[in-house]
Structures are given as C-alpha cells and as structure tokens.
A and B are shown apart, each in its own frame.
Chain A
Amino acid sequence: MIEAWFYLLFFPGLIFQVICGLIFEWLDRKLLARFQRRVGPPWYQPLADMVKLFSKEDLLPEGVNDLVATLLPIVSLSAILTAGLYIPIAGFSPYSFEGDLIVILFLLSVPTLAYYLAGVVSVGIYSTLGGGRSLLQFFSYEVPLLIALSGPAILSGSWSVKQIMVSQATLGPFILFQPLGFLLAIVGLIGKLKRDPLDIPKAKSEVVGGPLTEFTGAKLAFWHLGMNIQAVLGIFLLVNLYLGWSKGANPLLTIPVFIVECLVLVVLLSGASAIFARLRIDQLAGLGWRILVPLGLLQLGFVILMGV
C-alpha cells in the first residue's frame, strides 16, 4: 500500500516526471540557444517560469465555458502522468502488463484531443484556426506513428513495453533491424509534440498562439507542463522500443546507458528543430500520406517477413 503511494507520487509518478519535464525544457532551450550563438537560460529557468505562471491572474474572455476550460488542462495533464506509470525507466516498471503499449498510445492521444477542444471552446478567431489545424495535423502524423511503433511489438512478439525492451537483450537493439521505423517514429513524435518543423497549430506569425491564445495563469502552466512531460515520455518510449539494452539488469550499467540514450534523442530533436523550416499544412498532409505511410507499411511488411 505504501509502495503504491510511493510509485504514484514520487517515482515514476508525479514528482519524477515533473522534474524530468523541467530538465527536458532546459536542455532543449539551452541547446537551441547554443546552435544560434546565444547563451541560453540558466538551469532554474523552467522552474521559475512555472512558478511565475502560477502567480499570474487567471482570466478568460466572455462567452467561454469556464468549467470546460478549467477541466481541459487538468484532464490532459492527468492522462499524460498516468501514461508515464507504464513506461520502464532504465528497466524498472512496477505496473507493466501485457498490452500496455496500446494503453500508453491511447492515453497519449488524449492531450491532442484536449488541445483541439481548447481551441474550439475559446471564443476567438486565432484559437479556432489553430484548433482546426491541429486536428488536420493529427490525421497526418498519427497513422505513420502507430504503424512505426507496432514494428517492435511484432518483432518481439509481445505488446508490453517492458517485454519488448527485455527481448532486445537477446535479439539486439531493434534500431538495427528497423532504422526506417525509428525515423518514422521520430517524425511522428515531432508532430505529436508540435515542435518546429511541425508546429503549424501554434505558428506565431500566422495564428498568434493557436488554441492556447486565451489561456493564462495556472491553466497555461498545466498546458506547458503537459507538453514537456509528453516529450519526456515520448523519448523514454522510443529508447525502450528501439534502443533497449538490459543485460542482466545491473543498475550500475543500465542507468548511465539509459541517460546517455535519452540525451542523444534530445540532441536529435533540438537539432531537427534548428535545421528545418516550418511546413505548410497541405505540405504536411502530402508528406504524411504520400511518403510516410507507404514507408511505414514497407517497414511493417519487412518486419513480418523477418519474424516468419
């Protein structure tokens, strides 16, 4: 019983995920700044931003349904935190069960829907435009992402993330067999997190803030925290599915390797953010359905043949 409270609140529950989310935001901003010849923020900046947002006035325009607008960030953050309970951190996962990959993916699509609803419920032109775009983007990246992420499951014969990670100890890291799937998963992750180059719903020059234009104060803090924790969970998921390595479950070796793999993925995401320009929504739809989905199916076919 005490154990359950510890897992829920501390590790891998609330406190651990929040700290990881803040560290991820700091790393991302610092790397981006160094790529652009700037100094970048100090290590306590994301924490200071969160505290500052909590102290601001909480305002909503006239005509917005207050109850829905308050519930949406809370529901989104809760779904993300719950999904984090099932992802193994350096081989340790107290609640894993068969089929939890599907539960994680389902829980992680709740924030996207909440984002769209936030755009609809805020009475404002920029929010509605951004909300419409976010739904179009959801249709374009979600299918390639799901196709790519089912590759490791088929190869290892199990739908539990911990099982997939453990089976890589005998078969070798899955990235060697499915490099195309790894690339598709990264593109899908960038689309899910709405980062540059796929930050079309909240492009500052076109729709001022997207669906979150009208949110202030504690609600905005929850949205940002949700985005950051979602990024961290996406990175953990990719590391477990493609770069698993748990020979003998010796913690002295698995923890540093896990951290290094996560850092490599963070550098990859920040580099993609710095190098590529923002796509237009019709270019993204074309890319998603004409290039990514066929490649995903090709990779899936290859995996099935190899499994047989």
Chain B
Amino acid sequence: MKKIKDRLSILRSIIDALKNKPETVEYPFGDLEIPEGFRGAIVINSEKCIGCGLCVRDCPANGLELIKKSRHEFKLIHYPSRCAYCGQCEDSCRHGAISHSNQLVSPTTNPRGLIVVLHEKQEEC
C-alpha cells in the first residue's frame, strides 16, 4: 500500500497545479510586472551632463560615444544593440546624469542601425 501511495506523491502537486491559474504571462496581451530597479533603457538628465566622458571610459561594451566639438558643444550617443545593460555608466557618473529607467527596449529588425542620441548641446551664438 505504501508503494502505491508513494507513486502518487506527484498527484498532490498536480492537483495543486490544477487549482491555480497557469503561471504563464501571455505577453503582450497580459500585464507584466516589472520591478522598479529593473535595468532597462538608458535615459539622461541633460541639465546635469557636462560631457566629462567617465561613462564612456568605463563602459565594458563600447556602448557609448562622446563627440566633442569644443568645451560646451558635445554629442553623447548610445548604441542600444551593443549595450550590456550592466549599469556601470550609472555608477561611474559623478553627477547623476545618466541612469537606467525600467522601460523595456523594444525589438527591432535592424540592431546595428539603432542609435539613440542622448544629449546634444550646441553653442549659443
């Protein structure tokens, strides 16, 4: 008798599984819970960015590029297809300018052409 009871020990887990709803989230029709600290797309606070380039130097994947024309004129470019979403740029920045939001990066059919210009500052004449 014990052998039959042992064999049916999985049966309890199966009955448990039938009682609850399935665990699958039917994305994109179901709602997905994303925690706040999720490392998603990169956003920048343009007021605080001074173009020092610490984030570019520390990025392990060469995902950021700084094009400097003069001291106050610079362009910061981010390549989402090269980015490893590690958060090192957020740690390296001493002014709190660049950070991760918790938005997902949407898929694309042209990853190499995906370039996001984060910040562009022109000299005022």
By a beta-carbon cutoff of 8 Å, the part of chain A in contact with chain B is: 33-40, 271, 274-276
- Cβ–Cβ contact B17 & A35, under 8 A: yes
- Cβ–Cβ contact B14 & A35, under 8 A: yes
- Pick from A39, A40, A274: contact of B14, CB below 8 A: A274
- Which A residues are in CB contact (< 8 Å) with B7? 275-276
- Cβ–Cβ contact B18 & A35, under 8 A: yes
Q: Which of B12-38 contact A (CB under 8 A)?
A: 14, 17-18, 20, 22-24, 26
B1-17 Cβ-contact flags toward A at 8 Å (1 or 0): 00000011011001001
In the complex, the chain B residue whose C-beta lies closest to that of A276 is B7
> With the chains together, A35 CA to B11 CA distance in Å?
10
In the complex, the chain A residue whose C-beta lies closest to that of B23 is A37
> With the chains together, A271 CA to B18 CA distance in Å?
12
- Which A residues are in CB contact (< 8 Å) with B22? 33-34, 37-40
- Cβ–Cβ contact B17 & A36, under 8 A: yes
- Which B residues are in CB contact (< 8 Å) with A276? 7
By a beta-carbon cutoff of 8 Å, the part of chain B in contact with chain A is: 7-8, 10-11, 14, 17-18, 20, 22-24, 26
A-B contact count, CB below 8 Å? 28
> With the chains together, A38 CA to B23 CA distance in Å?
6
- Cβ–Cβ contact A39 & B26, under 8 A: yes
Q: Sample 8 A-B pairs with CB under 8 A, ordered by A number.
A: A35-B18, A36-B17, A37-B22, A39-B26, A40-B22, A271-B14, A274-B10, A275-B14
- Which B residues are in CB contact (< 8 Å) with A274? 10, 14
- Which B residues are in CB contact (< 8 Å) with A37? 17, 20, 22-23
In the complex, the chain A residue whose C-beta lies closest to that of B17 is A37
Q: Would you list the 4 A-B pairs with minimal beta carbon distance, nearest first? A: A37-B17, A39-B24, A39-B22, A35-B14
In the complex, the chain A residue whose C-beta lies closest to that of B15 is A35
> With the chains together, A271 CA to B13 CA distance in Å?
12
- Which B residues are in CB contact (< 8 Å) with A271? 14
> With the chains together, A122 CA to B22 CA distance in Å?
41
- Which A residues are in CB contact (< 8 Å) with B20? 37
- Cβ–Cβ contact A275 & B17, under 8 A: no
- Cβ–Cβ contact A275 & B8, under 8 A: yes
- Which B residues are in CB contact (< 8 Å) with A275? 7-8, 10-11, 14
